[in-house]
Amino acid sequence: DIVMTQSPSSLAVSAGETVTINCKSSQSLLSSGNQKNYLAWYQQKPGQSPKLLIYLASTRESGVPDRFIGSGSGTDFTLTISSVQAEDLADYYCQQHYSYPWTFGGGTKLELK
């Protein structure tokens, strides 16, 4: 199974800051066939189900604000949130959708400083 490692596990931020969350996979998520990286990001607010934000490393799901930016390739990926807003305080998870069984990172909790 592909192991997904996220860092940091928690992050305290002030509104308006730019934050970066990292995700590392134990194997490359880059498909040699189409040169796409099979990495997704989810946001989970307290008491809610996870919400898909980004897939294929950098494609935003419909309706996701453009302050959420996914980047990276191979085994190293980043979720950047520009100008964090109060509504962005949540847990964030990466997930590889490259090979079965799908696996998730341990999560990053974004908190208010």
Partner 1 sequence: QVQLQQSGAELAKPGSSVKISCKASGYTFTSYYISWIKQTTGQGLEYIGYINTGSGGTNYNEKFKGKATLTVDKSSSTAFMQLSSLTPDDSAVYYCARESSLFAYWGQGTLVTVSS
Site for partner 1, rule CB under 8 A: 1, 38, 40, 42, 49-52, 55, 61, 93, 95, 97, 100-107
Terminal CA-CA length for the chain: 36
Q: How far is the CB of 78 from partner 1 (least distance, A)?
A: 19
Alpha-carbon torsion 87, 51, 78, 23, what sign?
A: positive
Nearer to partner 1, 70 or 105 (CB): 105
Nearer to partner 1, 4 or 84 (CB): 4
Amino acid at 67: R
Q: How far is the CB of 83 from partner 1 (least distance, A)?
A: 26
Nearer to partner 1, 31 or 80 (CB): 31
Three-state secondary structure of 47-100: CCCCEEEEECCCEECCCCCCCEEEEEECCEEEEEECCCCHHHCCEEEEEECCCC
Q: How far is the CB of 76 from partner 1 (least distance, A)?
A: 20
